[in-house]
């Protein structure tokens, strides 16, 4: 019998950061990521990664219980701080992608 529960909701956000602003951008991003995982029961994962082939590209990989959990994230004070601070630090904000996760890899022991 198929599982009727919603699939985890994945958000991928990507930014091209100004070279002179990377440290400030990462400070804002890390604060948002930490607060999301610590304070939002529906946030499973919030990773901040820098592309190996383009060190000015930063990608957020976020996993929420469902779309409602992500919608709750949009109303948080820590996201408001990120939204207020990041525009001056980037060269480009790429389109956000939304996905439904079908399998989580889990952790190795």
Domain boundaries along the sequence of the chain:
16-100
For residue 109, what pLDDT is reported? 41
Instruction: Write down the CATH number for the domain with range 16-100.
Output: 3.30.70.100
| Percent above pLDDT 70 for the chain | 91
Quick: pLDDT tens for 33-56: 999 999 999 999 999 999 999 999
The model's pTM is: 0.89
Q: Are 58 and 17 in contact (CB under 8 A)?
A: yes
For residue 3, what pLDDT is reported? 52
Residues 6+ apart with CB under 8 A from 76: 35, 36, 39, 40
């Amino acid at each position: 019998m198929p599982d009727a529960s919603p699939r985890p909701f994945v958000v991928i956000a990507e930014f091209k950061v100004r070279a002179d602003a990377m440290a400030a951008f990462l400070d804002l991003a890390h604060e948002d990521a930490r607060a999301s995982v610590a304070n939002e029961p529906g946030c499973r994962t919030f990773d901040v990664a820098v592309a190996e082939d383009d060190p000015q590209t930063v990608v957020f990989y976020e996993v929420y219980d469902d779309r409602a959990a992500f919608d709750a994230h949009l109303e948080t004070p820590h996201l408001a701080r990120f939204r207020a601070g990041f525009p001056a630090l980037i060269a480009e904000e790429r389109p956000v992608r939304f996905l439904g996760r079908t399998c989580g890899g889990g952790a190795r022991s």
